[in-house]
Amino acid sequence: MSDLEIDRLSKRYGKLQVLTDCNLMAEGGSVVTLLGPSGCGKTTLLRSIAGFVEPDAGRVMVGGRDISMLPPNRREVAYVFQNYALFPHLTVAQNVAYGLTVRRRPRAEIARRVDEALGLVALSDFGGRYPKQMSGGQQQRVAIARALVLEPKVLLLDEPFNALDAQLRLTMQVELRKLIDRIGITSIFVTHDQAEAMILSDKVAVMHGGQIEQLAPPLQIYDRPSTSFVADFIGRANIMPVQVRAGRTDTPQPVPTPRPDGPAVMIVRPENFEVVPGNVAGWPGRIGFATALGATIEYEVDCGMPEALRVSMARAPGSGPLAQGTDVTLRLRSTDGAIVLGRGAAHV
Amino acid sequence: MSDVTLDALPPRRFSWRRRILEGGGLWPAVPALVYLAVFLVAPIVTLLGFGFVTLDRGQVADGSFTLEHMTGVLTDPLVWRLTWRSFWVAVVATTLTLFLAYPVAYAFSHLQGIWRTLLLVAIISPLLTSALVRAYAWIVILGGRRGLLNQTLLSTGIIDQPLQILNTSMAVLIGMTQIHLPFMILPLLAVLAERDRRFEEASLNLGAGQVATFFKVVVPMSLPGIVAGFALVFAVSYTNFIIPQLLGGGNYSTLAVQVYEQTIVVLDWSRGAALATLLLGSCFLMILLITAVGAHLTRWSEVPK
Ligand SMILES: Nc1ncnc2c1ncn2[C@@H]1O[C@H](COP(=O)(O)OP(=O)(O)O)[C@@H](O)[C@H]1O
Ligand SMILES: [Mg+2]
């Protein structure tokens, strides 16, 4: 199992700087997701790994070997396209056999490996069909079989679930993760859907404006975002300007922080706030809007800040939300759960 | 959800009046259909009809239906020789246009901006002059000792005897290929310029080189354009009589030239019409064959679910 390492990769198109100094490390056999909003450069980064895009600077290493100078057909890096790009003029079996045919493998070996690969994605009986005769989910499995039959060192997938409907998507995500674990291939995934990133990855690389803002395991990204963009993009977040004095914030409930004195931002997840009645230490405010979602109740609380603070509380059976306009106080459930970042990390 | 919307719609009542008014979407095509019926179908039927009657000073003789002209044409060995010549000249010229047109269309698909526009102008501009003018231009180029080609080759010392190209099959093939080239380039250009480059990337990613990708992905996926261009250029080459007449010399004849000569020179309209029936019929059969082979080769594009 080969590691994949991206080292200070940059790319610009004319005046547009699409990628800036991207670094990424995927240990052998692990799944790393590139997560970010549309247009942040995910596809460009993935295409640079496959060799379809020639970066201006930086290297791509697979198993410790620099592959940056190799043409795309000699990289041993499999790419699953967004709409699968199955050859419409070839049958499913011929599609899967394509890479072996151009390598001039013996006919018997091709037949055996194609059978195995189709079996792996549970499509053994579909070899004679044309791609047009297959459903979206089946086409995706063909694309994966076509990629894996060559035993590549790295598997790259660009938003592979976009073309599928919501129901099928979840099934396929779980199936794919199981398949990757079974064959143990280093995989890089592109998505703009944070739930998908959470399901599939060992590590998430959150991208923003052509840069990788944070690379960490999914829960760590959620609990310890390194920028306010990451905090806001993964789950929801209240972002408040604060001052740090002598190792603590100047908030109603002081939060300890190793940051130096001066301006900072504090990030609080909605579920780390609780709404309590009356006047206790905390953020005094007024219920602006309440939604009961079944398991939770979501409040927007006006605390005199430019934006209302969001709160998410578990709902006790039979209880309902507080009425709009009720005076309440917001308290932190845990001061450890609040994150204090420097102002520099506070761009959204 | 969808059930609710369906129920909410009032049931659609069936009405013959409505049916006719909608006409299965055919009404917008009526002007074109009328035009074609009056100016294409009627003249062709009339012309072909002349092959089955006896004409007397431009008048159809009463009750003179006859198969005599048709059998006369079909049993004439000369006619079959000319049909064969028409056929192979057209096939060779069409194949040549295909091999010349494909690289041009492929290059076009890789050009951008002003270069693309310039190439398109270069491809289309020959169509601005008539085929007749271009055939004469080939006479100037290929003709005798004083032709452009021979003059150049003689003066540069590459040859010391003038080449005899004009008035041979070679000249007919050269002229036909050049004059019909745009009809091959345009359908190829349509499929190649619009093609999805991800299929080529997928091929490279699977380990194929540029050359293998071209022959295994680009060419097969452009087959619909190849078939369209081949059928089109075959039809215009097979039925063209100007180019063989001008570039093949006075005694070079094809089936199409025979139709022209019987009708305009010999003034035997009945034989001309019978020959025209053979020309159109055989051309039609050939087009059917090309499209059938094409449909078989591109059956992947319309497989049932
Ligand atoms: N070939 C190209 N030429 C010019 N600009 C491009 C090209 N490819 C991508 N871009 C630009 O680069 C940016 C990032 O694109 P992309 O990597 O596709 O983003 P994502 O996959 O995250 O949505 C976009 O602004 C896009 O317009
Ligand atoms: Mg993308």
Closest residue in A to B300 (Cα–Cα) = A89
- Nearest 5°: CA angle at A155, between A151 and A159? 145
The Cα-based distances of B155 to A169, B137, B143, B278 in angstroms read: 74, 21, 16, 47
Closest residue in B to A143 (Cα–Cα) = B202
> How close does chain A come to B302, measured CA to CA in Å?
8
Confidence band (pLDDT; 50, 70, 90) for B165? confident
Q: How far is the CA of A80 from the centre of ligand 2 (A)?
A: 12
Q: What is the ipTM of this complex?
A: 0.86
Interior/surface letters B59-86, b for 16+ CB within 10 angstroms, e for the rest: eeeeeeeeeebbeebeeeeebeebbebb
Residue B223, chain A, CB below 8 Å: the answer is: yes
**Whole-angstrom Cα distance, residue A206 to residue A197?**
10
Q: What integer pLDDT is reported at residue A104 of this predicted model?
A: 95
Confidence band (pLDDT; 50, 70, 90) for B89? very high
Q: Supply the mean pLDDT for chain A.
A: 92
Whether ligand 1 lies within 6 angstroms of the CB of A4 is answered as no
> How close does chain B come to A146, measured CA to CA in Å?
8
Whether ligand 1 lies within 6 angstroms of the CB of A39 is answered as yes
Q: How far is the CA of A117 from the centre of ligand 1 (A)?
A: 33
Name the closest ligand to CA A162.
2
Q: Supply the mean pLDDT for chain B.
A: 89
Residue A166, chain B, CB below 8 Å: the answer is: no
A117, containing H or E segment: helix A107-120
For residue A34, give the ligand 1 atom closest to its CA: 22
Closest residue in A to B296 (Cα–Cα) = A89
B89: phi then psi, degrees, rounded to nearest 5: -60, -45
Q: What is the 3-state secondary structure (H, E, C) of chain B?
A: CHHHHHHHCCCCCCCHHHHHHHHHHCHHHHHHHHHHHHHHHHHHHHHHHHCCCCEECCEECCCCCCCHHHHHHHCCHHHHHHHHHHHHHHHHHHHHHHHHHHHHHHHHHHCCHHHHHHHHHHHHHHHHCCHHHHHHHHHHHHCCCCCHHHHHHHHCCCCCCCCCCCCCHHHHHHHHHHHHHHHHHHHHHHHHHCCCCHHHHHHHHCCCCHHHHHHHHHHHHCHHHHHHHHHHHHHHHHCCCHHHHHHHCCCCCCHHHHHHHHHHHCCCHHHHHHHHHHHHHHHHHHHHHHHHHHHHHCHHHHCCC
Lowest-pLDDT range, A23-27, B94-98, B160-164, B259-263? Answer: B160-164
Q: Whose CA is nearest to atom 24 of ligand 1?
A: A39
**Arithmetic mean of pLDDT, B87-95:** 97
Amino acid of residue B119? L
B141 has a pLDDT exceeding 60: yes
**Arithmetic mean of pLDDT, A256-262:** 90
Close Cβ partners of A7 (under 8 Å, ≥ 6 residues apart):
A23, A58, A59, A60, A61
Coil, helix or strand at residue A136: helix
Cβ separation B223–A89 shorter than 8 A: yes
Q: What are the residue ranges of helices labelled H in A127-278?
A: 136-148, 166-183, 194-200, 218-223, 228-233
> How close does chain A come to B6, measured CA to CA in Å?
22
Q: What integer pLDDT is reported at residue B4 of this predicted model?
A: 44
Q: Which one of 2.40.10.120, 1.10.3720.10, 1.10.8.870, 4.10.520.10 gives the CATH number of domain B77-297?
A: 1.10.3720.10
Q: What integer pLDDT is reported at residue B12 of this predicted model?
A: 61
What pLDDT, in 10s, does the model give residues A186-218? 999 999 888 889 888 999 999 999 999 999 999
What pLDDT, in 10s, does the model give residues B5-51? 445 555 566 677 777 777 777 888 888 999 999 999 998 898 888 88
Q: What is the DSSP-derived secondary structure letter of residue A315?
A: P
**Whole-angstrom Cα distance, residue A13 to residue A43?**
14
Q: What integer pLDDT is reported at residue A14 of this predicted model?
A: 92
Residue A81, chain B, CB below 8 Å: the answer is: yes
Q: How far is the CA of A159 from the centre of ligand 2 (A)?
A: 7
Whether ligand 1 lies within 6 angstroms of the CB of A53 is answered as no
Q: What integer pLDDT is reported at residue B77 of this predicted model?
A: 94
Q: What integer pLDDT is reported at residue B54 of this predicted model?
A: 83
**Whole-angstrom Cα distance, residue B233 to residue B129?**
18
Check: CB of residue A92 under 8 Å from CB of residue A129.
yes
The Cα-based distances of A333 to A228, A293, A319, B10 in angstroms read: 20, 21, 20, 56
Q: How far is the CA of A329 from the centre of ligand 2 (A)?
A: 43
Whether ligand 1 lies within 6 angstroms of the CB of A38 is answered as yes
Q: Which residues of B touch A79 (CB under 8 A)?
A: 201-202, 205
B58 has a pLDDT exceeding 80: no
From the candidates B112, B204, B206, which should be mutated to test the interface with A, based on the most A CB atoms within 10 A?
Answer: B206
Dihedral sign from CA coordinates of B37, B38, B42, B44 = negative
**Whole-angstrom Cα distance, residue A139 to residue A133?**
9
Q: What integer pLDDT is reported at residue B5 of this predicted model?
A: 47
pTM of this prediction exceeds 0.90: no
Whether ligand 1 lies within 6 angstroms of the CB of A52 is answered as no
Residue B305, chain A, CB below 8 Å: the answer is: yes
> How close does chain A come to B188, measured CA to CA in Å?
17
Name the closest ligand to CA A35.
1
What pLDDT, in 10s, does the model give residues A144-198? 999 999 999 999 999 999 888 888 888 889 889 999 999 999 999 999 888 889 8
Residue holding tokens 């093609």? B195
Size of interface A-B (CB pairs under 8 A): 75
Residue B2, chain A, CB below 8 Å: the answer is: no
Coil, helix or strand at residue A247: coil
